Amino acid sequence: MRGTVRTRRSRSILAVYCILVGLFALLPTLIVVPMSFSSVRSLQFPPPGWSTRWYEEFFTNPEWREAALTSVRVGGVAALLATILGTMAAIALVNSRRRWTVAARTFLVAPMIVPLVVTGVGVYYVFLRWQLTETFVGFVVAHTVLAIPIVVITVGASLQSFDMQLVQASKSLGAGPLATFRTVTLPLILPGVLAGALFAFLISFDEAVVSLFLSGPTMQTLPIKIFQSVTTSLDPTVAAASTVLLGLTTLALLVLGMLTYLRDKAEAHD
Amino acid sequence: MFFAYPLAQMFQASFTDFVVDPHGTWDNYTWFLTNSVQRTIVVRTVTVTLVVTALCLVLAYPYAYMMTVVSPRMRLIMVAAIMLPFWTSLLVRLYAWVIILQGNGPLNTTLDRFGFGSVNLLGTVEGVALGSVHVLLPFMVLPLYASLTNIDRRLMDAAISLGARPSVAFARVYLPLSVPGVLAGSTIVFIFMMGFYFTPAFLGSSRNSLISEQIVDQVSQLLAFGRGGAMALLLLLLTLALLGLAAWLSRPVLRALGEGERS
C-alpha cells in the first residue's frame, strides 16, 4: 500500500512538472497579443491603455505591406516549385530500388542538416556574382531548395501506404505514365502532397537566415522586416505583425490537422 | 545542384579569398584558429550549446514520458502545446522574449513584486540560453516521444513483479531503452544551437556573440568571404562529426535491442 501512495504522489509531481513545461512552451509567445493592442509607442508591459493603431500601421505602412506581400509571393511560388520537385523526387525514390537510393535521399535531405548560416554564406557568395541578391528569383530559388526536404519526407510518408500494384494495374489497362499519375497516384497521395505544400510554404514564410543575406533596401521579406524593426525601433507594430502571423500559423495548423484526420479516415476505409 | 554548388564555391573561397598569397593558402584557417577573440567565442558557443541541450533534456524527458502514458485526448493537448510554438515564426517568438526579458518587462516586474530584486537578462548569455531552450524544446520532445512510445512498458512491470523497486526498474530497464531517443533529440538540439543566429542576435549583445553572428558579420558587413567561409566550413565539419558520433554511439544500443540486423 505504501508503494501505491508513493507512486500516486510521484505521479502528481510529474503531472505538475509537465503542466509547467507545457505552459513554458505555450505562454511566452502569446505575450505579443496584448502587446499589439498597446496604446503607447514603447514595450511597456502590461500596456497602460488599449488601441488598434499598430494594426492600422501594419496594414497601411507601405514598407510593412511590401515585406508581407513579398513573403506571401515568394512563399507561394517556392512552395509550388518545391512541391512539384519534391513530389517527383519522392516518387523516384520509391520506384528505384538501386544502391544509390540512400545517397540520393541523403543528398535531398542535406539542406535540413547543414546549418542555415553555412547555407546562407554559400548562397550569398554565388548569388552576388549572379546578381540574384535582392531579386524575387533569388529568394524563390533559395527557399525552394530549403523547402524540398520537407516535401520529400511528407510525400514519402504517404507513399509508404500507397499500393504500387495500382500503378501496374493502371498501366496494364493502357494508361500512360502521366495519365496514371494524374488519375491514380495523385488523388491517393493528395493529402500528403497538400501537407507537404503547406509545410513548404511555412518554411519559406518563416525562413530568415538565408533571407537576411539576400535582403536589401529594395527587397526584404516579413521576418527580415521584423528583425530590422526590433533592432532599430521598439514600436509595437512588430507585435501587431506577430499577432497576425500567430493567427495564420494557428489556422495553418488547423488545416494540417484536418488533412491528417482526412488521411487517417481514408486509410481506415481501406 | 543548387544546393551543392554554392557550398563548394564558398569552400573554395575559404582558401583563396582574403589571403595574401592568391594561389590558395590556409591563411583564413590560421587566422581563425590563432585569434584569441575567436577562440573565446567558440568556447562560449560550445558552453552555451551544452547547457541548452542539457536543460532541454531535463524539461523534455518527463514531458515526453507523460505523453506516452496519458489518454489520447490529453496527448493531443500536450502535442498541441509543443507544436503551436514550433510552427510560430521564430522571429515572433524571439520578439516575445525581448518583451519578457527587457528591463521593465513582466519577468522583472514579477520578480520585483516578490522581492527578488531585478535581473537584467536581455543582452546576457543567460537570456540567450533561456530563449534558446524555449525555441529548441520541440526538437527534443518530438524525437524523445517517438522513441519512448516504442518502449514496451510491460518490461518495467516484469522487473517490478520480480522484486525490483519502481525507481530501480526505471533506471535499469526503461532508461537504457530510451538512450536512442535521448541521443537523437540531443543531437538535433546541439546542431541547431551551434548554428543559431537570430536567437543570440536578438537576446544577446555584441559583447557576448556566438559563432554564427561572427560568420554573418564577416560576410555581410566586411564581405570577407574567405574568413566567413572558413568558419562556416569548420562549423559544418563539426556538425557532421557530431552526427557521425551520435550515429556511432547509438549503434551498440540498437544492436542490443536486436534492431542492428535491419539496417
Chain A residues whose beta carbon lies within 8 Å of the beta carbon of residue B95: 32, 226, 230, 238-239, 242
The three cell numbers of residue A235 are 514600436
What pLDDT digit, counting tens, does each position of A205-246 carry? 888 888 988 888 888 899 999 888 887 777 788 888 889 888
Query: Looking at chain A, which residue has its C-alpha nearest residue B132?
Result: A25
* Three-state secondary-structure class, residue A193: helix
How far is B77 from B69, CA to CA, in rounded Å? 13
Residues 6+ apart with CB under 8 A from A266: A191
B78, B91, B166 ranked by CB distance to A227: nearest = B91
What is the CA B186 to chain-centroid distance, rounded? 7
Q: Give the Cα-Cα-Cα angle A78, A81, A85 (nearest 5 degrees).
A: 135
B59/A24 touch (CB, cutoff 8 Å), yes or no: yes
What pLDDT digit, counting tens, does each position of B141-175 carry? 988 988 888 888 888 888 888 888 888 888 888 88
How far is A47 from A34, CA to CA, in rounded Å? 8
The three cell numbers of residue B175 are 532508461
How distant is the Cα of A170 from the closest Cα of chain B, in angstroms?
A: 33
Residue B133 has pLDDT above 70, yes or no: yes
Q: Rounded to 10 degrees, what is the CA torsion of A9, A14, A17, A19?
A: -100
Chain B residues whose beta carbon lies within 8 Å of the beta carbon of residue A210: none
The DSSP result for chain B, as a single string, is -TTHHHHHHHHHHHHHTT-SSTT--SHHHHHHHH-HHHHHHHHHHHHHHHHHHHHHHHHHHHHHHHHHHS-HHHHHHHHHHHHHHHHS-HHHHHHHHHHHHSTTSHHHHHHHHTT------TTSHHHHHHHHHHHHHHHHHHHHHHHHTTS-THHHHHHHHTT--HHHHIIIIIHHHTHHHHHHHHHHHHHHHHT--HHHHHHS-GGG--HHHHHHIIIIIT--HHHHHHHHHHHHHHHHHHHHHHHHHHHHHHHHTT-GGG-
Task: Give the count of Cβ contacts less than 8 A between chain A and B.
Answer: 193
What pLDDT digit, counting tens, does each position of A175-188 carry? 888 888 888 888 88
Q: How confident is the model over A73-99, as a mean pLDDT?
A: 86
Chain B residues whose beta carbon lies within 8 Å of the beta carbon of residue A17: 62-63
A125, A223, A252 ranked by CB distance to B225: nearest = A125
Q: How confident is the model over B66-72, as a mean pLDDT?
A: 88
What pLDDT digit, counting tens, does each position of A100-132 carry? 676 777 777 777 778 888 888 888 888 887 888
Q: What is the pLDDT of residue A178?
A: 82
- Provide, rounded to the nearest whole percent, the portion of chain A with pLDDT above 70: 92
ipTM over 0.90: no
Q: Per mean pLDDT, which range of A91-95, B71-75, B122-126, B131-135 is the poorest?
A: A91-95
Q: What is the pLDDT of residue A197?
A: 92
The three cell numbers of residue A185 are 497516384
Query: Looking at chain B, which residue has its C-alpha nearest residue A33?
Result: B96
- Model confidence at A2, pLDDT cuts 50, 70, 90, reads very low
Q: How confident is the model over B118-129, as a mean pLDDT?
A: 82
Residue A75 has pLDDT above 70, yes or no: yes
How far is B1 from B3, CA to CA, in rounded Å? 5
Contact B214, B41 (CB under 8 A): yes
Q: What is the pLDDT of residue A268?
A: 64
pTM for this one? 0.80
- At A13, which helix (H) or strand (E)? helix A2-30
Residue B215 has pLDDT above 70, yes or no: yes
How distant is the Cα of A136 from the closest Cα of chain B, in angstroms?
A: 16
